[in-house]
Structure 1
Amino acid sequence: MRSVSNAAVLLLCCVPVTLHGQATAKHAAHPAACSGNALSPADVALARNALESYNQGDLEQAKPQLIKLAQTYPCQTELQAAAGMALADSGDNAAALPFLDRAYTRNRSDAAIAFNLGVAEMKSGNTKRAEEIFSDLIKRAPGKSDYHLALAAVQMQREEFAAAAASFEKANAALRTSNVPASLDMRIDWATALLKSGQPAKAKDLLASAHEALKSAPAQEILAASEEKAGNYAEAVKHFRLAAQLDPSESMIFGFGNEMLQHFAFDSAIEIFKYGVSKYPASDLLQMGLGIAYFGNHSYDLAAPPFQAVLQRSPQNATAAELLGRSCEAATSTSVAGCDTLQAFADAHPENAMASLYAASSILHQATDTRDTARAELLLQHSLKADPRLADAWYELGILQQNRNQWSESAASLERAVEERPAFPEAHYRLSRAYARLGKADKAQAEIALQQKYAQQSKDENNRRMQEVIIFLTAKN
């Protein structure tokens, strides 16, 4: 989705910010406080040359001369405005503001000076004053589209989307009066305002009627978002696909793939993210998308390598470590590429209980003759030290102890697991085994009943966790 700052870009494209009223030897009359501040003959010539350079686009030559002249003649409105515009054109809006403000204070009736000041205020982040200036200009000339577009840009920046949509509509009405069609860029920003203000149907209609939108990736992206908000998912997919074809950028491919994830179309998402990773192999975002698509498709063995790739490039990425851990935990194979990376992450982050848990789980998932159970136990102890209430860590420890025939110790660990999470069917089942080995038949039978009771809740919990994984990318983007 286009950022709201694009409205400001649209403004400057459609409304050239130029200086009106050049400084000459015959300058406007000023208040009495400035009497006697006329330019010297030499400075008249210097000002003329500086303004000529400025108008020819030679900013490097004009700017220092205009600044010096404006500082020497603070009552010369035209020089203040020219120096301010030269600074603004070079991107230094903060330095431009004092000059433009002095020009505006001395001649509020000059609409060009007011407009230029408003643009500089907006680009400096002073949106409240910019809004006031543009609103005043609209009162003076309500039929001027430039002013409505400027106000819309400020309102977008302030995230006043409903107000911005109304301003775009007024700008369009003014353009229609002059028989000038709204540009596609203006329509896109207008549609963005409509979409963000909860009017997806209007956003769709605005762009659907523009033939050139078929060749615009941003327009197609907004149309996709509009269809999605309206619940028309099949149409949304079509627009996302076209957007990605028109603009095969990292962000656009991600947007299309993420759209597939939201609708659990994992096979399609896998193909999209595989293409994205082949095109942008260094993209952590697309690697995460690919891993999540595999995870959602229950291809846990294939989900681990993309998460490992992200973790190797970004060793501090706790989210990648957690998703890698989830994949390794759920994998069916006893040897999954990438899972060994978890141990290094856990060692570097002993405070991360989940990292130590997943690292231990990945070891315990290995073939019996290769697993390092002592290492796994140490990692589980680190996990429980970081979070003594982590039920999964108590559960894994209980399993490890059962594999060692430490049934009393196992019962204690599993009792702690179900204490921390009563609806933990696997832990209840393992606890029933421990009780049976310890000759506590009644307790064993009670745990079997609890396992059956919570089995459905566990399935619901797994579905919830799956949804958390699926929406992860959306939340991060």
Structure 2
Amino acid sequence: MPKRLALLLAFLPAIPLYASTALGSIFPAANAILIESAEQAESSRQSPSEVEEEKRRFLKAVAAYRDKRFAEALGELRWLLSTSPESFDVNELAGLVHVALGEDDKANPYLARAVRLNPRSAPARTTLATNLMRLHRSSEAEAQFRKAVELDPSGYDANHNLGEYYIQSAKLTDGVPYLRRAQQIDPKAYNNGYDLAVALLRTDKIDEARRQIQDLLKLQNTAELHSLLGEVEEKAKNYVVSAQQYELAAHMDPSESNIFNWGAELLLHQTMDPAIEVFKTGVQRYPHSARLYIGLGIAYYGRGHFDEGAEAFCQAADLLPTDPLPYTFLGKASQDVSPAMADQVRAKLRHYMELAPRDAAAHYYYALSLWHRDRNQQGAAQLTQVESLLKSALRLNPKYVDAYLQLGLLYAGQRNYAAAIDQYTRALKIDPNIADAHYRLGQALARTGETARAQQEFAAFERLHKQQVAETDKQRDEIQLFVYTLRSAEGTGRP
């Protein structure tokens, strides 16, 4: 999922008030310093040689700053600050040098003084605002960004910077108008346009986001734009177009993220064979990406290749040994694999339970992996272990509905129907809309001769079953949940 919103903080050392490489256009300085120095000379009766010395030292400080010789620049600035403490340019440069040295707290007084000396400078306010953000003084930063827009309402930089401030502060709705205005001022501004499209998508302005991306594609045909357009079309439920855009992005730039997005879209379509091929290519290129292995496992599992799916989940677990996500998929797959693969799956689940003893799901899935092994030949000791693990899961999470259901099934299998009824009833108190729980409860009640209650539970089962979506749709919903979870996980781009 694209997450390339520009971060102002990353650009702070590059926000100086000069942009040209020619010394004659620095700040307004190389030329304006002559005027400023002349005015100071007249008021303080400086000699021409003193004025010339200030100019020489200032230009030397600027050159040192631009060459990243910050200590040298600071040495010149100390002298300049002693002779011209009220110079806007000297204070601004001193602030920038301290920023470059990572000394944001030392930079702020100089940047604030520069704004006081030249309050109508929108760039100076932007520089101060960005430093205030670094110091986590957000409300003060916002005030400076807003003042910059007031001073330069038709300026691209002022509008773009305020918009980016709001984006970075997770105030997308507030940021959109300023990014939109900046784009109107400079329609060829790619970074602003991209961030605007992302903000529009996140605020559900789907049609405008699509138009913005299409306008940018006319300027630059990039993989990230096609990937973002894929996300837009997916949100608009244009799944075929979405898959095409993700595929195009992956061909243009076969990054881990682009390959995953393409494969994930195929999973959502339940086109498992193409998804298998995409994810196989992905794990060959990025063998350290756990989510690509999980995607491959889901595709194999959806195709009915349970052992291959479990093997992929095991690979993901090896890459993320303390992350619950791979083990969740392994646990779900444990009941369908062959006996040989079941041993490997069981070992992984036991290892995770030992690593995460407070995770209820770890106990639950390890219990299932033990129980699904040769159920007809299990002895009392093993069933006791399964019972103990399920109870541990419930102690850790008293609202774990699935654990109540499995414990009920365990007791029913032992013909302990009273205990089974208790577990099913507990599950239904937490979630009364579980059709299977009503059915199992009805069976247990019938076994104990409570025919009337059993019929009520069977009726509830029929009613809920009819309300539920078809099994294929339920499977799609599960895959969709998996995909969205995986998209939110950080991929590993290391080959």
Shift of 1:325: 0.9
Partner of 1:387: 394
Secondary structure of 1:27's aligned partner: helix
Q: Which runs of 5+ in 1 are unaligned?
A: 176-180
Shift of 1:332: 5.3
The percent of aligned pairs where both chains have the same amino acid is: 22
Partner of 1:60: 70
Secondary structure of 1:253's aligned partner: helix
Shift of 1:100: 0.9
Partner of 1:377: 384
Alignment of 1:259-298 (within 5 A): 259-298=265-304
Relative to structure 1, the CA distance from residue 354 to residue 231 in structure 2 (aligned partners, 3 Å threshold; closer, same or farther) is: closer
CA contact (8 A) 1:227 1:236 kept: yes
Alignment of 1:436-475 (within 5 A): 442-443=449-450, 450=457, 454=461, 457=464, 460=468, 467-468=477-478, 470-475=480-485
CA contact (8 A) 2:442 2:458 kept: no
Q: TM-score, normalised by structure 1?
A: 0.79
CA contact (8 A) 1:188 1:218 kept: no
Alignment of 1:308-323 (within 5 A): 308-323=314-329
CA contact (8 A) 1:411 1:435 kept: no
Partner of 2:23: none
CA displacement 1:379-416 (0-9 Å, x = unmatched): 4213214416656556555666677xx53xx3243223
Relative to structure 1, the CA distance from residue 29 to residue 119 in structure 2 (aligned partners, 3 Å threshold; closer, same or farther) is: farther
Rounded Cα–Cα distance in structure 1 between residues aligned with 2:245 and 2:46: 62
1:209 equivalenced with 2:215 (yes/no): yes
Rounded Cα–Cα distance in structure 1 between residues aligned with 2:168 and 2:401: 46
CA displacement 1:403-443 (0-9 Å, x = unmatched): 7xx53xx324322332223556489569858976xxx5x45
The counterpart of 1:151, out of the listed 146, 152, 162, is 162
- Counterpart amino acid of residue 372 in structure 2: H
Higher RCO by CA contacts (8 Å cutoff, separation 6 or greater) = 2
Shift of 1:468: 4.4
Rounded Cα–Cα distance in structure 2 between residues aligned with 1:143 and 1:425: 63
CA contact (8 A) 2:421 2:441 kept: no
CA contact (8 A) 1:361 1:376 kept: no
Rounded Cα–Cα distance in structure 2 between residues aligned with 1:47 and 1:372: 89
The counterpart of 1:164, out of the listed 167, 175, 179, is 175
Relative to structure 1, the CA distance from residue 364 to residue 79 in structure 2 (aligned partners, 3 Å threshold; closer, same or farther) is: same
Rounded Cα–Cα distance in structure 2 between residues aligned with 1:187 and 1:350: 48
CA contact (8 A) 1:20 1:112 kept: no
Rounded Cα–Cα distance in structure 2 between residues aligned with 1:435 and 1:37: 107
Alignment of 1:62-141 (within 5 A): 62-66=72-76, 68-69=78-79, 72=82, 74-90=85-101, 92-122=103-133, 124-141=135-152
Partner of 2:3: 3
Partner of 1:343: 350
Shift of 1:227: 2.0
Relative to structure 1, the CA distance from residue 296 to residue 209 in structure 2 (aligned partners, 3 Å threshold; closer, same or farther) is: same
Relative to structure 1, the CA distance from residue 398 to residue 243 in structure 2 (aligned partners, 3 Å threshold; closer, same or farther) is: same
Secondary structure of 1:215's aligned partner: coil
Rounded Cα–Cα distance in structure 1 between residues aligned with 2:70 and 2:136: 26
Is the deviation greater in 253-262 or in 38-47?
38-47
CA contact (8 A) 1:53 1:61 kept: no
Is the deviation greater in 20-29 or in 158-167?
20-29
Partner of 2:364: 357
Shift of 1:232: 1.9
Partner of 1:333: 338
CA contact (8 A) 2:200 2:209 kept: yes
Shift of 1:228: 2.3
CA contact (8 A) 1:428 1:448 kept: no
CA contact (8 A) 1:22 1:51 kept: no
Shift of 1:455: 6.5
Rounded Cα–Cα distance in structure 2 between residues aligned with 1:456 and 1:431: 14
- Counterpart amino acid of residue 64 in structure 1: L
Is the deviation greater in 236-245 or in 284-293?
284-293
Q: Which runs of 5+ in 2 are unaligned?
A: 19-25, 429-433, 489-495
Shift of 1:102: 1.3
